[in-house]
Amino acid sequence: MTTARFGVLLANLGTPDAPTPEAVRRYLAEFLWDERVVDAPRPLWWLILNGFILRTRPARVAKGYESIWMDEGSPLLVFGRLQQQALKASLAEHFGEQVPVELAMTYGEPSMETAGKALRDAGVDRILVLPLYPQFSRSTTAAVFDRLAQALKPCPHLPELRLIRDYHDHPAYIDALANSVRDHWARHGGERGKLLMSYHGIPQRYADNGDPYPRHCETTSRLVAEALGLGDDEWFMSYQSRFGREEWLKPYTDETLKSWGRDGVEHVDIMSPAFAADCLETLEELEVENRDNFVNAGGKVYRYIPALNDRADHIALLTSLVETHTQGW
């Protein structure tokens, strides 16, 4: 067996394996039990999660997944596989040799164990972990680290590991985001709306305790606006997907769009730089639910700009990250 110099582990959040209440319940049970995601006292949270949330939420969430489900499966997994394949081809061309690339989810399948076994079978003993989260948060990138450590715990021989913490201000990432906006404008004849950059939220308490996520989001937004040459009144940033009753990062995306609709903003172009691949939070929450919020409040034109997915400039960014972080390997 030929031993590869290193392998790449792409990591993302996860997805149910079917758009059904049963599958969603299994997924949410794992996702919402992670203390990185919800850090409430365990006994109390167990009662809330199992006594209420997992009894009521799965059916509603399953309907959302059903509305976006693709022929090949969950969009997050479909686009993740496309990213995996495209990155593997790009790395082979760049390095002049095959570099194993595996995809793993923090919750659900393919699991860290599945991906780790595939890399081990490829003879890899050096792994670059690339979480597909441009902005660091304890609830995402740190959760990847925890889950990988859990998967490696029973292994008698640990691989050498490097983890990419974030790439929120990487020039190639900013360029890819700006290019996606330009391409969107071009598809619509150059017509431009006010650009809203919406990020997945976290509890404000996490930021108060030192999570750098909001600073990373602010930097990304500013750099994208600068790359596009936008004035201060031509763009805005907000946070979506809040959960529970405590205060999350503000301003909230849904409330922003309702306010804009009432105040006479007629045209919005919306994107989510926090998501490397389209998923429930973009295809259902942003493209559908928040469209209704804006239009019902009086807005006229609302257009969603897709995530970077497997765009060539996105794959070029990931290739650059691998090259930089594997120096010496």
Q: Which residues participate in the annotated binding site? A: 200, 281
Contact 22, 55 (CB under 8 A): no
d(CA 7, CA 2): 13
Q: In the β-sheet with 235-240, what is the strand arrangement from edge to edge?
A: 235-240, 194-200, 267-271, 301-304
For the chain, percent helix, then strand, then coil, each to nearest 5? Answer: 50, 15, 35
Which pair of tokens denotes residue 280?
Answer: 């429930």
Written as one letter, the residue type at 72 is E
d(CA 33, CA 45): 8
Q: Hunting for tokens 């076994």 — which residue is that? A: 117
* CA end-to-end distance (rounded Å), the chain: 19
Binding residues for Fe(2+): 200, 281
The residues near 113 (Cβ < 8 Å, ≥ 6 apart) are: 151
Question: Number of H helices and number of E strands within the chain?
Answer: 13, 8
d(CA 156, CA 147): 17
Q: Hunting for tokens 């509305």 — which residue is that? A: 67
Contact 282, 57 (CB under 8 A): no
> What is the Cβ-side half-sphere exposure of residue 285, based on CA atoms within 13 angstroms?
21
At 169, phi and psi to the nearest 5? -120, 15
